[in-house]
Structure 1
Amino acid sequence: MTSERQQPPPGHQFGDRPPTSHERRTGRPWDASYHDGPAPWDIGGPQPAVVRLAAAGGFTGAVLDSGCGTGDNALHLAAPGLAVVGVDVAGTALATARAKATELGLVAEFTAVDAFRLERLDRTFDTVLDSGMFHTCDTAERTTYAASLARVTGPGATLYVLCFSDEGPGTGPHPVTRADLTATFHPGAGWHLTTIAAERIRTRFHDDHGAPAWLATINRL
């Protein structure tokens, strides 16, 4: 994918937020990803890594799903009764997530909030999931994003980041290095990066084995 930053076409609406680096590169708002069938990352269910984390008791208290898309991860976490809030800037994805919750009889909140301005939620969370959001950020956005996450978490909160890794073959777009994670989530930013483990992310353009990924476990200082 080209690294050239393009301006969004005239007429696209971003509300009161500037377009992200991904939107500038592609010239399309995030919402457009959901207009012509499933988005590439919309696999019709939760990520296997998230399922395993949940089964191991990794999610407790109030849970935030940052960049929740159509809600499959959030709804998987809500099923056993966790209080889950999913946020995204793509209104079409959020509408789909709410419809899924109704169909499944699950209680979860899905709201339109910019991940770089999470303080607008006016609440804090004990556990945060980022499945596929971090690797869309450029270097400047990562710093802003880490600060945004810090504003909605308190000491001892846990953040899980599942993102494309740079260790191939078959890497996804915008692969992330270990150094990218450690440079973003460090004590000076209010975080302790506890572990970075090799994982897989499933997508619609990889086979069932998915793409190489990192699963980072990060704790709020």
Structure 2
Amino acid sequence: MSSAPDPGLVPENPAAAYGFDAAYRGAPPNWDIGRPQRAFVHLEETGRIGRRVLEVGCGTGELSLYLARHGHDVLGIDFAPSAIAQARSKARWRRVPAHFLVWDALKLPELGVRVDTVLDSAMLHCLGEAEQARFVDGLASVLDPGGSYFLLCDVKPEGASYFHGASLSRSEIERLFAGPEWELESVSETVFERRASHNPAYLVGVTRT
């Protein structure tokens, strides 16, 4: 899978983009653990990730690099330029053929790629409600029929109108993927690992019909 030249795309929410970009300029943020999340490693080990992969919100690229080393054709996107710069540097020094692009995940229809699998390590749960719906709509433009979207997100207690930190409840996940183009295959309890802790999380598996 080839990627287009980096277009310097301006995110629709530049304040949020700046916040994430600034987080990657100093010490690694607590969600950047220096390796892929174990939940995604298990998916790879059990053969559930297709050959052509798009990782949305890839950060500094550890998951994309891991998958590229295991033979997948991978493109990682993030709207934080400093994160993508680090990911590209890692790929170069490790000699791993992963591709990275500064891109807004709300503009997937403009990306111009088709993949078997989309991976999301805690990106969707950072978006607002309208942005989440728009992202899900855009998924169909890059994911082939029969392909899979796997989401790792922090757990929001059911019925909570507000919960500290970014998170999703099971019912919110079910509503997001209630459309006829999606089949919600699984919502499994797991953990999201951070540098000094871990949170209860869902690993969500969705198939594009």
TM-score by length of 1: 0.84
1:49 is aligned, of 39, 44, 50, to: 39
Q: 1:16 to 1:93 in 2, by over 3 A?
A: closer
Q: Work out whether 1:59 is the aligned partner of 2:82.
A: no
Q: 1:96 to 1:167 in 2, by over 3 A?
A: same
Q: Is the 8 A contact 1:19 1:29 kept in 2?
A: no
1:211 is aligned, of 182, 194, 199, to: 199
Distance in 2 (CA, whole Å) between partners of 1:16 and 1:202 is: 30
TM-score by length of 2: 0.88
Distance in 1 (CA, whole Å) between partners of 2:26 and 2:90 is: 18
Q: Is the 8 A contact 2:9 2:104 kept in 1?
A: no
Q: 1:15 to 1:106 in 2, by over 3 A?
A: closer
Q: Counterpart of 2:30?
A: 40
1:90-110 deviations in whole A, cap 9, x for unaligned?
Answer: 111001111111222110000
Q: Work out whether 1:177 is the aligned partner of 2:165.
A: no
Q: Counterpart of 1:187?
A: 179
Q: Counterpart of 2:13?
A: 19
State the structure with bigger RCO (CA 8 A, min sep 6), 1 or 2.
Answer: 2
Q: CA deviation at 1:137?
A: 1.1
Distance in 1 (CA, whole Å) between partners of 2:10 and 2:156 is: 33
1:202 is aligned, of 189, 193, 201, to: 193
Distance in 1 (CA, whole Å) between partners of 2:94 and 2:125 is: 30
Give the residue type in structure 2 aligned to 1:36. G
2:145 is aligned, of 155, 167, 181, to: 155
Distance in 2 (CA, whole Å) between partners of 1:46 and 1:16 is: 27
Q: Counterpart of 2:76?
A: 86
Distance in 2 (CA, whole Å) between partners of 1:126 and 1:172 is: 34
Q: Counterpart of 1:126?
A: 116
Q: Work out whether 1:142 is the aligned partner of 2:132.
A: yes
Consecutive unaligned residues of structure 2, counting only runs of 5 or more, are: 1-7
Q: State the identity %.
A: 34
Give the residue type in structure 2 aligned to 1:215. L
Q: Is the 8 A contact 2:11 2:103 kept in 1?
A: no
**Count of residues in Structure 1 that have an aligned counterpart in Structure 2:** 198
Q: CA deviation at 1:123?
A: 1.3
Q: CA deviation at 1:40?
A: 2.2
Q: CA deviation at 1:121?
A: 1.8
Distance in 2 (CA, whole Å) between partners of 1:172 and 1:151 is: 32
Look up the SS of the partner of 1:187 in the other structure.
coil
Q: CA deviation at 1:174?
A: 1.7
1:14-41 deviations in whole A, cap 9, x for unaligned?
Answer: 9533217x829xxx43211111211221
Consecutive unaligned residues of structure 1, counting only runs of 5 or more, are: 1-13
Q: Is the 8 A contact 2:33 2:194 kept in 1?
A: yes
Q: CA deviation at 1:156?
A: 0.4
Paired residues for 1:106-117 under 5 Å: 106-117=96-107
Give the residue type in structure 2 aligned to 1:186. A
